[in-house]
Amino acid sequence: MLIPLWFVAPLHAQTWEQGSGTEGLNLQAIHFHEGWAYTGGATGTYHSEDGGATYAEANVGNSSVGPTRGFTHDDLYVYMCTSNGVFRSDNAGASWTSVDDGLPQLLSHGMAAASDRIWVVTPSGAYTSVDHGDNWLPAGLDGLDVRCIAILNDVAYAGTQGDGLFRSDDNGANWTAINNGTTSSAFRAIEAHGSTLFAAGGIGSGIFRSSDEGTNWTLLSGGLPGGTFRGFASQGDWIAAAAFGNGLYVSNDNGNSWTGLNDGLGDLTLFDVDFSDSHLLVATDLAGAWRLPLDALPQGPSQVVEVRQAPSPYPNPSGHWVHFPSVAPNAAFEAWNARGQSVKTGKLTEGRLDASSWFPTQWVITFEGGERHTLVVVQ
């Protein structure tokens, strides 16, 4: 199937480099601050003092078995949230200290920093700390599964699983639903880029943009593949979006047009992205951390080209039979869970896979020859 995509010719060849020490790791978050790169996932946290070229394990004082889910920083500390609580470090990740006082549960999904506080979001609402994490106070959205948070001019914007997007102008005392123009009730990533907001919807729903502080949203295209996005990063004119199964896309015109930067990237299933001083950094599902020099970012005028894209499996999500039209009828497959573990192997039956007994979650299905698809199994 031929699909028109916007493409911007790069000034330099793309040269992705895998971060040494992260080979084969499931990584779900990545962050850069004051010369250090931080990444983490199913096996805990890793840090790099050479801009992401090499990483070392950084699990002193934190949990290496609770997946690292997000990072942020303020003027004193780097923070991370995990499935086993929130931690902070004042020595670039050489050691971490647990800071959970006031949090009703340890599982957390994301973090953000405002001028006077740190935010963390959890399956039971949002929380803030004005003392560098020593104490956490409830900040609204009680009982909602909050998955992401961003700060724009000290206004908080949060995305939930099932209840859409919200905004608070008063540090969480009150929240207002802001879903005009969205077609998804689930959001896994949100980013402030200048005065613009970008939000990634639920499975397969793409990216939405707001230029009026969340009052109205528009679904973007302009070169973006249809699908799921899990992370954003912003620097200067650039906004970067990490796609789950489709790689990395960047825009320097506020999201009007996008370019994929995926040649040589060892895994196109991305959880997160960030900018360093000299590179784009990404965290992948099965192949660790990678970096791309910033001089490989696209330059020059846009042009329309034709790109060949393999047909997607259907129905997706599914609770039973799933058709894979792009592979052989009896092709062998391998199924990977969100922790980057190979859980199932088998063969298709007349081009179909029976997922009726599979655990309901998001899976990555790989086939011989390198083709891979994301599959959401529902009950």
Point out the domain boundary residue: 307, 332, 365.
Answer: 307
Q: Determine phi and psi for 119, rounding to 5 degrees.
A: -115, 145
Find the CATH number of the domain harbouring 173.
2.130.10.10
Residues 344 and 270 both lie in one domain: no
Residue 312: inside a domain: no
On whether both 282 and 337 belong to a single domain, the answer is no
Residue 273 has pLDDT above 70, yes or no: yes
Q: Domain tally for the chain? A: 2
pLDDT at 370: 66
How confident is the prediction for the chain on average, in pLDDT? 88
Q: Confirm whether 263 is domain-assigned.
A: yes
- 203: confidence class by pLDDT, cuts 50, 70, 90: confident
Average pLDDT, integer, range 63-69: 82
With a cut of 70, say whether residue 19 has pLDDT above it: yes
Under the banding of pLDDT at 50, 70 and 90, the label for residue 310 is low
pLDDT at residue 361 in the model: 80
pLDDT at 369: 67
Which of the four pLDDT bands, split at 50, 70 and 90, describes residue 306? very low
Residues of the chain with pLDDT > 90, as a percent, come to 70
Task: Name the more confident of 30 and 334.
Answer: 30
| Same structural domain, 233 and 363 | no
Cis ω for the linkage preceding 317 (within 30 of 0): yes
The whole-number pLDDT of residue 336 equals: 78
Average of per-residue pLDDT across 254-273: 93
How do residues 37-62 score in pLDDT, each as one tens digit? 999 999 999 999 999 999 999 999 99
- Average pLDDT for 78-92: 95
Q: Are residues 277 and 358 in the same domain?
A: no
Is 314 a domain residue? no
State yes or no: pLDDT of 180 exceeds 90: yes
Same domain, 56 and 204: yes
Backbone torsions φ then ψ of 98, nearest 5 degrees? -70, 135
Q: Among 261, 276, 307, where does a domain finish?
A: 307
Confidence of residue 307 (pLDDT cuts 50, 70, 90): very low
SS3 295: helix
pLDDT for 259: 93
More confident residue, 35 or 66: 35
Decide if 248 is inside a domain. Answer: yes
Residue 313 covered by a domain: no
Do 213 and 114 share a structural domain?
A: yes
The pLDDT value recorded for residue 260 is: 93
Q: Return the pLDDT at 342.
A: 75
- Look up residue 329 and give its DSSP letter: T
Question: Tell me, what's the pLDDT at 362?
Answer: 75
Q: What are phi and psi of 84, to 5 degrees?
A: -120, 30
What confidence tens digit (pLDDT) does each residue in 281-295 have?
Answer: 999 999 999 999 999
372 pLDDT higher than 60: yes
Beta-carbon count within 10 A of 370 CB: 7
Residue 221 and residue 149 in one domain: yes
Other CB atoms within a 10 A radius of the CB of residue 299 amount to 12
131 belongs to a structural domain:
yes
Q: Are residues 203 and 166 in the same domain?
A: yes
CA nearest to 92, candidates 129, 132, 45, 125: 45
Residues 285 and 355 grouped into a single domain: no
Going across the sheet that includes 196-201, the strands are: 187-193, 196-201, 207-210, 218-219
**Residue 56 covered by a domain:** yes
In a domain, 133, yes or no: yes
pLDDT value at residue 6: 36
Model confidence at 7: pLDDT above 70? no
**247: containing domain:** 2-307
Q: What is the mean pLDDT of residues 320-347?
A: 83
Sign of CA dihedral 376, 359, 355, 268: positive
Cβ count near 141 (within 10 Å): 23
Q: What is the pLDDT of residues 139-168, one digit of tens each?
A: 999 999 999 999 999 999 999 999 999 999
Cα gap 320→305, rounded to integer Å = 37
pLDDT at 324 over 50: yes
Among 92-106, 281-295, 338-352, name the one with the lowest average pLDDT: 338-352
Where among 280, 307, 334 does a domain terminate?
Answer: 307
Residues 291 and 367 in one domain: no
Lowest mean pLDDT among 260-264, 334-338, 343-347: 334-338
| Residues 296, 368 within the same domain | no
pTM, whole model, 2 decimals? 0.78
Q: Indicate if 251 and 329 belong to the same structural domain.
A: no
